[in-house]
Chains A and B, each alone.
Chain A
Amino acid sequence: GNSVTQMEGPVTLSEEAFLTINCTYTATGYPSLFWYVQYPGEGLQLLLKATKADDKGSNKGFEATYRKETTSFHLEKGSVQVSDSAVYFCALSKTGANNLFFGTGTRLTVIP
């Protein structure tokens, strides 16, 4: 079946540190992959996406590369800010399926 596995949190970093949140997936065929972010008290919002192998999604300084050989879509940011504190969800979508499959989420806290 389709599933997404994210690294366990919570993750606490100092401001300007490098961030990696790991995400691996299980799916048949060629899914599209996404990172969503949930700020405190808000709903989820799309952060970035990649729809085919070797694509790199990027937004707000965050990047993730679709690696089919390792079935991974790790989220990275070179220098985190306090305002990046949030819960990050990896997700996948299959062509023809009317649903997103979400990972369990990783809480990031950035301290000054």
Chain B
Amino acid sequence: NAGVTQTPKFQVLKTGQSMTLQCAQDMNHNSMYWYRQDPGMGLRLIYYSASEGTTDKGEVPNGYNVSRLNKREFSLRLESAAPSQTSVYFCASTREGTSDTGELFFGEGSRLTVL
């Protein structure tokens, strides 16, 4: 039972390079999320997708783009990476949004370092 799968788990980039973080869930969830986790700041929402075909900005969207490719997949793209984007990124999903049960299912995280 895979749950939420993120790739890659680790990545090192140089400033200005681009990359895409991939996320897929096999729980038939409608809502998917991208968070970043930084020391002393907890988790902050970057973007979310309430349902297939929709995306919305979260608390810290600048420098990122997302694509909800289909119901299963939600990717996060850094077009021109900056050192401030060094972080651990988590993808999460839930059946119908957090106001329903509040239970988010998280992937294992992707650790990104931008030099």
Contact = CB atoms under 8 A, between A and B. Distances in A.
A96 interface: yes
Contacts of B97: 98
A74 interface: no
B52 interface: no
A44 B108 contact: no
Interface string B85-115: 0000010100001110111111111000000
A67 interface: no
Interface string A70-112: 0000000000000000000101011111111011110000000
A43 B90 contact: yes
A98 B104 contact: no
B102 A42 contact: no
Interface in A1-40: 4, 32, 34, 36
Given A43-B108, A46-B104, A94 B43 contact: no
B108 A41 contact: yes
Nearest to A105: B42
B41 A104 contact: yes
Contacts of A42: 108-109
Interface of A: 4, 32, 34, 36, 41-46, 49, 51, 89, 91, 93-100, 102-105
22 contacts: A32-B102, A43-B92, A44-B43, A44-B92, A45-B105, A45-B106, A49-B103, A51-B102, A89-B42, A89-B43, A91-B102, A93-B99, A96-B99, A97-B98, A97-B99, A98-B50, A98-B99, A99-B45, A99-B58, A102-B44, A103-B42, A104-B42
Given A43-B92, A89-B43, A99-B98, 16 more contacts: A4-B42, A32-B99, A32-B102, A34-B103, A43-B108, A44-B104, A45-B106, A46-B103, A49-B103, A94-B99, A98-B98, A99-B48, A100-B102, A102-B43, A104-B40, A104-B41
